[in-house]
Amino acid sequence: MAVEVKELLEAGVHFGHLTRKWDPNMAPYVYMERNGIHIINLYKTAAKIEEANAALAKIAASGRKILFVATKKQAKDIVAEKASAINMPYITERWPGGMLTNFVTIRKAVKKMAS
């Protein structure tokens, strides 16, 4: 499933953050600045989507779980529906800081809460 740059453009993926709120690590992916907003390079985005798709396919094929995260209003319902359909865990609400880096601690808390 190849991602088309035209589809990304139609979806509005090219709109980045305000220029004053940017992370310098994003510099290679910023195409230009217009009206105080960074415009994202969709060719590089499409390539990274393909790379991520290949990695996720490999992880899923090995039987491991993939955690889907979508806290933006526009994506919540879609991610919840699609992740449920493939029996994968997902988060669509605000989550505690350090949830991934402190996963062992969080898992203990969840097990304690469940019991």
pLDDT tens-place string over residues 1-33: 677 888 888 888 878 878 888 888 888 988 888
Averaged pLDDT of the chain: 88
Pairing of strands 37-40, 30-34: antiparallel
